[in-house]
Amino acid sequence: MDALDQLLRFEHRAMATTFELMVFGEKPDVAESAAWYAFGLIDKLEMQLSRFVNVSEVAMIAQLKPGKVYRVNKETMDLILIATKVCDATNGAFDVTVGPMMDALAKVGNRWAALTKEEREDTLARCGMNRLVLDPDHYLVSVKADALGRDTPVELDFGAIGKGFALDLAAEMLETEWEMRNFLIHGGTSTILAKGEMGDGKPGWAVTVGGNWRERAGLDAVRLENGAISGSGFEEQGQHVIDVRRGVAAARHAGTWSYAPDGARADALSTAFLGMDWKEIVRVCEKDLPGCGALAVREQPKYLDRLRKPARVCGTFPTLGKEKKR
């Protein structure tokens, strides 16, 4: 039997996307049971973390007033702490308190020009990771007043990190409880986490990176092993990512991809990179978050590729089956 015929695939709908688990070298019945346990864990996380579920922990945090405290589950606290570290490393380019700005944009059909200066300033004053007060040892969360001194809610949105975090917890369960070593799991293909190999005689798993720029950027054969890759851009949803530092769309690059040892950081970084200049990205990958990497593409006509490469890479990024630094 061909090795690729031994790959088992399982799908599940959650977090407004389709999760897929691919497993190599396992008995079908064992793999199927493991898959549904993993998907069940993802469903549980969605109920905890979605801002659109009225009884979620995110919804409970949004009801807090300064001086009040709410106890969250370990997973929620872990995710907030990861988000805080990425926010610090990116100087605020990544910020999960972006909910108010997302709501304001939704009311005007996601048309940035439709927001007045006053509306932007009012909304941005309600954002900021510094509004959260955390007691990690006791899983307690409280909030501060906003930048204008108001008791406005802190509306967390984990859309740019939640899927990656879910992949991490699912992968940990597959490794520890099911003793699986060779699998790939992704959430809607935007973030992919791989462990081991796919059984085709080469290291890691073959993954698609680069979108419409894949061939032009020389990324036809990326191999991902024991790490995660995430991508962000505007091909499907337009300029939907927000840079809360400036109150504008995060659109410095046509598309960005990130590599990290875990899905949560990969998911967060690819989002943050969209609004960061190249020097900032290099600093993050080579100094603040070593072991991570970035690929950013320029919006340019194909004939210019002869003069300058359409993609830039820094830090650690798995290309052509090897991790290269440029």
Q: What kind and span of H or E run contains 13?
A: strand 8-14
Which residues face 258 on adjacent strands?
230, 294
Q: Which of 213, 170, 211 is nearest to 193 (CA)?
A: 170
Residues 74-95 as b/e (b if ≥16 CB within 10 A, e otherwise) read ebbbbbbebbbbbbebbebbbb
Q: Report the distance separating Cα 42 and Cα 134, nearest Å.
A: 24
Percent of the chain at pLDDT > 90 equals 63
Burial label, 291 (beta-carbon count in 10 A; 0-12, 13-18, 19+): middle
pLDDT tens digits, 34-78? 999 999 999 999 999 999 899 999 999 999 999 899 999 999 999
Q: Report the distance separating Cα 279 and Cα 298, nearest Å.
A: 15
In this predicted structure, the answer to whether residue 318 has a pLDDT above a threshold of 60 is yes
What local confidence, expressed as pLDDT, does residue 140 receive?
98
57-143 falls under which CATH superfamily?
ApbE-like superfamily (1.10.3980.10)
What local confidence, expressed as pLDDT, does residue 236 receive?
44
Q: Which of 269, 321, 320 is nearest to 295 (CA)?
A: 269
Distances (CA, A) of 33 to 10, 26, 177: 10, 11, 12
pLDDT tens digits, 228-254? 999 887 654 444 577 777 766 666 788
Percent of the chain at pLDDT > 70 equals 91
Average pLDDT over residues 210-225: 75
CATH number of 3-39+164-324: 3.10.520.10
Which stretches within the chain are classed as H helix? 28-49, 57-61, 74-89, 99-107, 117-124, 162-176, 263-273, 278-283
What local confidence, expressed as pLDDT, does residue 18 receive?
95
What local confidence, expressed as pLDDT, does residue 49 receive?
96
Q: How many residues does the chain have?
A: 326
Q: Which of 283, 301, 300, 279 is nearest to 292 (CA)?
A: 283
Average pLDDT over residues 6-25: 95
Q: Name the pLDDT band for 319 (thresholds 50, 70, 90).
A: low
Asked whether 64 and 143 are in contact (CB, 8 A), the reply is yes
What local confidence, expressed as pLDDT, does residue 292 receive?
96
pTM to 2 decimals?
A: 0.90
pLDDT tens digits, 254-298? 889 999 999 999 999 999 999 899 999 999 999 999 999 999 988
Q: Which of 250, 218, 219 is nearest to 237 (CA)?
A: 250
pLDDT tens digits, 77-109? 999 999 999 999 999 999 999 888 888 888 877
Q: Name the pLDDT band for 221 (thresholds 50, 70, 90).
A: low
Using only C-alpha atoms, the chain has a radius of gyration, in whole angstroms, of: 20
Q: How big is the CA angle at 4 (ends 292 and 263), to the nearest 5 degrees?
A: 20
Domain boundaries, the chain: 3-39+164-324, 57-143
What does DSSP assign to residue 306?
A: G
Asked whether 219 and 209 are in contact (CB, 8 A), the reply is yes
pLDDT tens digits, 118-144? 888 888 899 999 999 999 999 999 999
Asked whether 262 and 234 are in contact (CB, 8 A), the reply is no
Q: What kind and span of H or E run contains 212?
A: none
Q: Which of 170, 223, 173, 176 is nearest to 196 (CA)?
A: 223
Tokens standing for residue 183: 């699998």
